[in-house]
Amino acid sequence: MRISALAAEAGLPLATVKYYLREGLLHPGVASSATQATYDESHVRRLRLVRALTGAVGLSVQQTRAILALVDDPGDDLYTTLGRAVSALPPTVHEASGDDPYPRARAALEALGQVYDPQYAAVAQLEAALEATEAAGLPMSEDRLLEYGRHLRAIAAFDLERMPHEPHAAVEYTVLGTALHERVLLALRRLAHQDVAAGRIAGR
């Protein structure tokens, strides 16, 4: 298809598609003449990914480019690539240093019996989140940690079971699934609170 048809198919203004081409977020089409190129389903799919990353996920063009590089070249060590891709997603947290930079996160992960890689951004995120609950006078108790951890591990196992085997698709699934499903999870938790509370009032 021509670039105008591609833009229509992706639901984006033509100028935006051209901008993504210039910025290297979209791979070039196949030249069909000196001034025209042809695009296919791979371009539609890429535009959908770029739109999600720059729109709903809220990444900059530069951050999006970094994630696309991992999608395009997952390398041989998929585990490390997935970790890097997720670490490139918001929220951005301050990296600490020292002998034991994330003491609260370390203690929590030890209590949960989980692997602990301090290089992984989510460790610093957990540390900051636990610190904030403490400062607010509502620290995570051990029983709450174990209860949350148990259910989130079940959700994570479900997510991993459905991850595509093909490496490029696996990176794309992991990035989008992490960022976009997080918002679903938080809305569902608030709605579950309301439902449980309504049930108590009704004596259910």
Task: Give bridge partners of residue 30 from the DSSP assignment.
Answer: 38
Provide the strand spans (E) within 28-77.
30-31, 37-38
The footprint of a second copy on residues 110-129 (CB under 8 A) is 114-115, 117, 120, 122-123, 125-126, 128-129
Neighbours of 150 (CB within 10 A): 10
Considering only 67, 86, 88, 171, the residue that binds a second copy (CB under 8 A) is 86
Closer Cβ to a second copy, 48 or 65, answer by number: 48
CA distances from residue 163 to 20, 127, 166, 185 in whole angstroms, order as listed = 27, 28, 9, 18
Is the peptide bond preceding residue 13 cis, with omega within 30 degrees of 0?
Answer: no
Gyration radius of the chain over CA positions: 21
58 CB-near residues (< 8 Å, 6+ apart):
90
Contact between 31 and a second copy by CB under 8 A: the answer reads no
| Token pair belonging to 155 | 């959700």
Neighbours of 71 (CB within 10 A): 20
Contact between 177 and a second copy by CB under 8 A: the answer reads yes
Q: Closest Cα to residue 127, out of 108, 113, 114, 145?
A: 108
Shortest CB 34 distance to a second copy, Å:
34
Residue whose structure tokens are 């999600």 = 52
Closer Cβ to a second copy, 37 or 104, answer by number: 104
Contact between 149 and a second copy by CB under 8 A: the answer reads yes
Closer Cβ to a second copy, 1 or 93, answer by number: 93
Contact between 14 and a second copy by CB under 8 A: the answer reads no
Contact between 96 and a second copy by CB under 8 A: the answer reads no
Contact between 155 and a second copy by CB under 8 A: the answer reads yes
Contact between 157 and a second copy by CB under 8 A: the answer reads yes
Contact between 132 and a second copy by CB under 8 A: the answer reads yes
Contact between 94 and a second copy by CB under 8 A: the answer reads no
Considering only 14, 107, 111, 186, the residue that binds a second copy (CB under 8 A) is 186
Contact between 158 and a second copy by CB under 8 A: the answer reads yes
The footprint of a second copy on residues 57-76 (CB under 8 A) is none
